[in-house]
Structure 1
Amino acid sequence: MNKFFIRIGSVVFTGMVLSMSCKKALDVPPTHMVPVKQMWQVKNDARSAVFGTYGLLRAALSNNNAYLAYGELRGGDFVSTSRSDIAAVTENDLRSSEAVVEEWKNWRRFYAAIAQANLCLEKLAKVKENDFRYTAENLKLDIANVRYLRALTYFYLVRIWGNVPLITKTAEGTFPQVQKSDRQTILDFITQEAQAALNDLPWRYNGQSPEQSGLYWEQSDSHWRGIIANKGAAYQLLAHIAAWRGNYLETERYTKIAIDNKALGGYDIIDIGNLTNTQGGVFQGQSANVLLALPADKEFQEASASGHIEDWTLALPYVSRKTPDIYIPNDTILQIFNEKNDNRFGINESGTALGNYFTGFGSPIPMFSKIRQLSTTGADPLRNYQSAIVIFRYEDLVLLRAEALIFLGDPDKATQLLNSIRSQRGLPEYKVADGHIADAILKERRRELLGEGWRWFDLVRFEQVPGYTRFTAQDIKAGALYWPLSKEVMNGNRALQQNEFWQH
């Protein structure tokens, strides 16, 4: 089986599907046209359709590094060197009419992924009718993957825009004139979707579980490791949905199951060497601690010059440009890494900076170098990168459970989990008597997950946004946490209203 076809060739199919179901609606240009009567006939159609959904979600998150704009830039750690569009987001000036900011305000790429998922759920059964080689197990696993992706995509939409249209069927021609659904309704829906997917997903695709036997799409477990949905990733998604709703009882339940079954899932806490490994490791997407990532591996011709954090953060000596687009100021670095012996970043007794999170600390523009997945070795004049967008990894899962336990009144267990991360990063044990354990967990998430698209969402969940932005409690009540809608979205669907805080 041609691995390249599975990993990236299927994304070409994305254009085919969109041209059939929602070309006008979503304004994502197709690359090929295929007559409807020729679709959904053979098992390869199903394979391409399912992995095309993964490709569309990757496209939505990587477009102008959208996942960083939504999840990282608004949190205040990164600042822009010269780009006014990035500066608008770091300063939470989302009324900006900069072209790239308008792109980030536009949810059409997310709804393209949802349209693809809806189409798969409606049409995959036809493949089984038409091709005996497409088995009942193929169908079950493919549907579970697609339902998981639809839930994950809506979870991004809810966290970014709040109330959004809930569309669960394919739309012909134009985008349906659908009003927004309340975000609690969306969260109810995606909880049900993730639970349904969970029931049919295996812990691993090794053919050793009731949910999956033999090979999934003729590939071994090592091929699928960390890059498609599995039980661990489903539990982690459900845990985050519950935490977003403030239902920490459910968060603790889901995270406990995922952690207790880490041997089945094949994940664990990893050392700092693998975390910052430039030739694989976490940010290639198939590390021992990654539960789900969207890869861009050069082996499968997926590397590119944009849609990767390195495109914003790296400069000489790693790539041939003088200044990165974003950086974390020296003072902020010292605020984040304010404990001795942290092997992610620290200052030794002689004043030398240690660790791979940063390069050039002390210079006017220190470089965030934690993630450096260059697509070639040595000089890289084309500035191509192959870093994966890591959606879920084990350290997040552990810290999320610690967070839940705090809100459930069990600081001792929460501290044990927190220390399981701290000990791997060279830090001494935290003791409940040292201070406020919730603050310690938030600080550890800031250090461990820096640059991975979590900071803003963490601040929202911990209700800490006023402490790190210009927003007041009144602004937050009026909807300042959510993004405004682009002019294109508003003009395309007259049933919508602009998010309240951004109406004036």
Structure 2
Amino acid sequence: MNNMVYNKIICFFLLIFLCSASFISCNKKLDIASYEIAPEAKHWESISDTKGGLLGIYGLLRSAMVGNNAHWIYGEVRMGDFQSTARQDLKAVVENDLKKSFPLIEDLSNWKRFYAVINAANLFIERAPEVIKTDSRYTRDNLAIDVSQARLIRAFTYFYMVRIWGDVPLITASFDNSEGFPKFKKTNATEVLQFAQNELMEATEYLPFQYGIDNQQYYGELAKTWKNILFNKSTAYAIMANIAAWQGKYIDVDAYTKFILDNVVSANLQYNGNLNTSDIGIDKLTGITGVFSNAYEPSQLFSISGSYTNLEASNTGHFEQLVLAAPFINKTQPDLYVSRDSITSIFQDLYDERFGFIASSGLYNEAYFKNIASLYPVFCKINIIKDGKFAEFGSNLIFTRLEEIVLLRAEALAAMGRTGESVVMLNRIKNMRKATPYSISMEPGRPLMDEIFKERRKELLGEGWRFYDLQRFYKLKSNPERLNQIASGEFLWPIAPVVIKNNSEITQNEYWK
């Protein structure tokens, strides 16, 4: 199937849900059968319609997360370790000055693109059952798996929005975007998250660990086609673990993370390093064949594909766009950088492969940073690029991976007082990076929980976690000043004026009025 056909189908779904098609790249592996654009009533008659509808939801999710580099600006740039070299809009985000009138801030304040995902999922859940009546190839097993994916994506999208805006409208039925956004009031964030957890738990019953294995094709394709594209049972548990951690429900985090780690073989998951600290080094994480590349063979817990192999590479919607510069691309300085002082403060272990000294040469390890002696060190951990002249990037957005889950489990175990088990989890990651293991008896001045979050800061740098990790850490440490900031809504994102204008039931988040 050629790219023109795929574009036609994706554009159809984007037009239905008023989401800009400019953010969607082609994915040749998602080989959707051709059909002509027709009224909505005609689009739920065959198995090709369900395939197009399902993949359309994935496309909309990708658009929502990578458009304007949203995922990284929400979670990594805001009040994080990165600083802006010259861009004033990025500087405003770093400083949490979100009342500034910049197109970037206005765009990221608008939740419309996330409701496009939710509306597409709602529509699929409502209409996909009709196909069983008209196409014998579409079985009840197919329907159960497909609807479970739609429910998973909808649940994740609500969790994602709650972290950004707090209370948001909970909409569980499709609506016609041509008539404008329906007049829904905001729903309490706790209720929204409970809905998401319930949806995910029910979806896990039907979701497989892998699609298309044991010669059981899924939409005519085997496992290799769907790897790192479709969400599975482990994805659902990873999202549930993060929702539970966000709510401070660490008993649930313990259960969910244990399930993931007990089923790494079934899900074809692999650590991005070597647990035995042998000859496999940091390249499993940062290299051109590492976790951010489609050349990486094992499956990922939650990956949004943006690879060269799927013809999805572009010069936007990748963190490299903001952080790379010479010698990687034809750009004198990056838009964002981590200062030398911050780097040396974050990475204090001389043996750490992510950033430390190479014993044989006495030079800095450049797995994470290049040009460390310059005014603007270049963050190169995520660096999937073919041609620096044209700056076309091919990295996948990894929302969560096995190492994040291990550290989340360490956090939960520490919060529950199971310190010995927590240290084992923490040192699992340290050992992979050849960092000095942590010992409670040897480190009385370094509290275990502090050390876990320091490790998350190092391991997950540039992946969109920092701002949210800080909020969980402040709650665990019961920091009065920070707790007041959280309670006041200072850490929420303002709601775009256009959203409030179009929906009289919505009011601005209190802190940003």
Relative to the length of structure 2, the TM-score reads: 0.90
Could you tell me how far 1:15 is from its partner in structure 2? 3.7
Which amino acid counterpart does residue 39 of structure 1 have in structure 2?
H
8 A Cα contact 1:11 1:48, kept in partner? no
1:431 aligns with 2:435: no
Counterpart AA for 1:136: R
Q: Is the 8 A contact 2:326 2:333 kept in 1?
A: yes
Equivalent position amino acid for 1:230 in 2? N
1:194-273 matches, within 5 Å, as: 194-208=200-214, 214-271=216-273, 272-273=282-283
Question: Which residue number in structure 1 is paired with residue 462 of structure 2?
Answer: 451
For residue 322 of structure 1, report the CA deviation from its aligned partner: 0.9
1:358 aligns with 369
SS in 1 for 2:474: coil
| Aligned-partner Cα distance in 1 for 2:293–2:239 | 19
Q: Greater CA deviation, 293-302 or 183-192?
A: 293-302
**1:422 matched residue in structure 2:** 430
Deviations 1:168-188 (A, max 9, x none): 111122211111000001011
The residue aligned with 2:32 is none
Counterpart selection for 1:294 from 304, 311, 325: 304
Partner deviation per Cα, 1:12-39 (whole Å, 9 max, x = no partner): 434423544x54xx68799995322331
Could you tell me which residue of structure 2 aligns to residue 182 of structure 1? 188
Contact 1:270-1:289 at 8 Å conserved across structures: no
Q: Residue 303 of structure 2: SS of its match in structure 1? A: strand
Give yes or no for the alignment of 1:81 onto 2:85.
Answer: yes
Q: Does 1:490 align with 2:500?
A: yes
SS at match of 1:390: strand
- The answer on 1:367 being equivalent to 2:378 is yes
Give the 3 Å change call, closer, same or farther, for CA 287–335 of structure 1 in structure 2.
Answer: farther
Following the alignment from structure 1 to structure 2, what is the Cα–Cα distance between the partners of residues 77 and 95?
A: 21
Give the distance between the partners of 1:239 and 1:497, measured in 2 at CA.
30
Identical amino acids, percent of aligned pairs: 36
Structure 1 or 2: larger helix share? 1
Q: 1:227 to 1:239 in 2, by over 3 A?
A: same
Q: Aligned partners of 1:38, 1:394: CA distance in 2, in Å?
A: 42
What is the DSSP-based 3-state SS (H/G/I as helix, E as strand, rest coil) of the residue aligned with 2:98? coil
The CA distance in 2 between the partners of 1:89 and 1:283, in whole Å, is 28
Change (3 A) 1:221 1:28: closer
Larger deviation, residues 457-466 vs 126-135: 457-466
Verify the 8 A CA contact 1:18 1:30 in the aligned structure 2.
Answer: no
Q: Which AA in structure 2 matches 1:332?
A: S
User: What residue in structure 2 maps to residue 169 of structure 1?
Assistant: 173
1:54-91 alpha-carbon deviations (Å, 9 max, x no partner): 11011011111000111111142000111111111011
Instruction: Give me the whole-angstrom Cα distance separating, in 2, the residues matched to 1:29 and 1:39.
Output: 23
1:37 equivalent to 2:41? Answer yes
AA aligned to 1:118 is N
Preserved CA contact (<8 Å) 1:344 1:425: yes
Distance 2:311 2:336 in 1: 27
CA distance in 2, matches of 1:148, 1:184: 18
Q: SS of 1:347's equivalent? A: coil
**Alpha carbons 2:292, 2:382 under 8 Å: kept:** no
Which amino acid is 1:413 matched to? E
Q: List per-residue Cα deviations over 1:99-129 (Å, max 9, x = no partner).
A: 1110111111111111110110011111221
Structure 1 stretch displaced more, 61-70 or 34-43: 34-43
2:410 alignment partner in structure 1: 402
What SS class does the counterpart of residue 224 from structure 2 fall into? helix
Select which of 399, 420, 440 maps to 1:391: 399
Residues 289/460 of structure 1: CA separation in 2 closer, same or farther (3 Å cut): farther
1:16 aligns with 2:12: yes
* Amino acid in the other structure paired with 1:303: A
- State which of 324, 327, 334 in structure 2 corresponds to 1:317: 327
Question: Alpha carbons of 1:63 and 1:427: their partners in 2 closer, same or farther (altered >3 Å)?
Answer: same
The answer to whether the Cα contact below 8 Å between 1:10 and 1:47 also exists between their aligned partners in 2 is: no
Partner residue, 2:126: 122
Deviations along 1:325-365, one digit per CA (max 9) or x if unpaired, are 10000000011111120001113577621131000001100
Q: Distance in 2 between matches of 1:381 and 1:30?
A: 22
1:46-125 matches, cutoff 5 A: 46-125=50-129
Please list every run of 5 or more consecutive structure 1 residues that lacks an aligned counterpart in the other structure. none
**Amino acid of the residue matched to residue 254 of structure 1?**
Y
Secondary structure of 2:461 counterpart: coil
Amino acid at match of 1:16: F
Distance change >3 Å, CA 446–CA 11, structure 1 → 2: farther
**Which residue identity is paired with 1:187?**
L
Q: Distance in 1 between matches of 2:187 and 2:372?
A: 46
Amino acid at match of 1:436: P
RMSD: 2.4
Shift of 1:288: 2.8
The match for 1:154 is 158
Amino acid in the other structure paired with 1:341: Y
Contact 1:79 1:328 in 2 (8 A): yes
- Which AA in structure 1 matches 2:419? P
Q: Tell me, in whole angstroms, the C-alpha distance in 2 between the residues paired with 1:310 and 1:30.
A: 16
Runs in 1 of length 4+ with deviation above 6 angstroms? 26-32, 464-468
Q: How has the CA–CA distance of structure 1 residues 474 and 85 changed in structure 2, closer, same or farther, with 3 Å as cutoff?
A: same
- 2:267–2:299 contact (8 Å) kept in structure 1: no
Change (3 A) 1:57 1:425: same
How far apart, CA to CA, are the structure 2 residues paired with 1:436 and 1:258?
A: 27
Change (3 A) 1:311 1:190: same
User: Residue type matched to 1:485 in 2?
Assistant: I
Aligned residues: 487
Larger CA deviation: 415-424 vs 265-274: 265-274
Using the alignment, how far apart are the partners of 2:409 and 2:271 within structure 1? 14
Q: Secondary structure at the match of 2:164?
A: helix
Matched AA of 1:176: P
Shift of the 288–166 alpha-carbon distance from structure 1 to 2, 3 Å rule, reads same
| TM-score, with structure 1 as normaliser | 0.91
Q: Is the 8 A contact 2:474 2:482 kept in 1?
A: no
